[in-house]
Amino acid sequence: MKFLPTLLVLSVLSAATLLNGCSVLGGISGSDKPVTTFVLSPEFSKADKLTGQTPLPYALVLAPVRSNSFDNREFLVFAKQDNTRGTYQYAQWSEKPSRRLDELIFSTLEHSNVYQTLAPLSADVVAQHLLVSELLEFYHDATNSPGLVTIKMRFSVYDQTQHALLARQTFTTQHGLDQFNAQGAAKAFNVAVGQQLYQLTKWLGDWQPKSN
């Protein structure tokens, strides 16, 4: 199966060094194995295409994505049994998932035109609303072959003038692997993060805060 073009790989393994699912998860010894670096790049299905809309008449600032989860690591994380975690030895992200999600959430909301004004929390912008994003789970569930990836995030919108919580929602998105290895996991993460961003954007667009 050909990889979708949106799966970005910074260093490519030769056919001779491709690791199968058991090898990747089992931890092959040896220092000559090349590390493949993947860039988390959302893929949207035709049904999940984000289109422009009339923006909400508010300014929204985005706090950096928070995470205290073990899953928020540069090396891809897997679970071979319930309530366990491990990391791929030779497959890593270009940056921690929370940092990459900062960029993806901002660019997706900017493109979808949900809010009239959008800015990072560090910007000197007076905004009525604050979006706090928390990464709770981000791993390859390998309890069955080839498994699936799970992304779980919690989003909270606060009124900064009233210092009050306006709305909160948690989304869990999953996508199955088409092959039991790091490439299959990375490609599945791209689809699952696209679903996560779509759900966030749709939720913000459907939710209509009351005017002050």
Residue 158 phi, psi (nearest 5) = -115, 145
Is residue 201 classed as helix, strand or coil in its secondary structure? helix
Q: Where are the domains of the chain?
A: 8-206
Per-residue model confidence as pLDDT tens digits over 154-164: 999 999 989 99
The contacts of residue 49 (CB under 8 Å, 6+ apart) are none
Per-residue confidence at 78, pLDDT binned at 50, 70, 90?
very high
Residue 10 pLDDT > 50: no
Give the span between the Cα atoms of 143 and 79, in whole angstroms. 7
| CA 59/CA 128 separation, integer angstroms | 6
Which CATH class for the 8-206 domain?
A: alpha beta
